[in-house]
Amino acid sequence: MSDTLTIYKQIYPLQCPKLSEMGYRSIINVRPDNEVESQPSSEVLCSAANEANLAYCYIPFDNERLSCNTVARFAEQYHKMPKPIMMFCGSGHRAKLLYQSAMMQGLL
């Protein structure tokens, strides 16, 4: 999306060291836990991110619950987290929607 933010589909704990090697400094997870059986929990991802020296933030939402509060929380985290950031959800769609909503509100 920009030099400071990449949007992607589900990432896995084993990818965290590679993301760090690629130069990412933070991860934002917007996918709620337990959407599908095979998805890693936020707790497991947070641990893997920390081990790879990546900042981690969990802002879960589904398409029916995107609120002004969620957009504001994302913008706040975006501004304070080390860049570049990898933001993800199941397919990338919700992450893109969140980013675009913050842009349209002038928060980024």
Q: Which two tokens stand for residue 91?
A: 């397919």
Total of domains in the chain: 1
Which domain does 66 fall in, by range? 5-104
Plot region of 5 (φ>0 → left; ψ -120 to 50 → alpha; else → beta): beta
Say which amino acid occupies 41. Answer: S
Q: Looking at residue 81, what is its pLDDT? A: 98
Q: Which two tokens stand for residue 101?
A: 């909503």
In this prediction the pTM is 0.95
**What CATH number corresponds to the domain at position 89?**
3.90.190.10
**pLDDT of the chain along its 108 residues, tens only?**
689 999 999 999 999 999 999 999 999 999 999 999 999 999 999 999 999 999 999 999 986 778 999 999 999 999 999 999 999 999 999 999 999 999 999 999
Orientation of helix 93-104 relative to helix 68-80, angle to 10°: 90
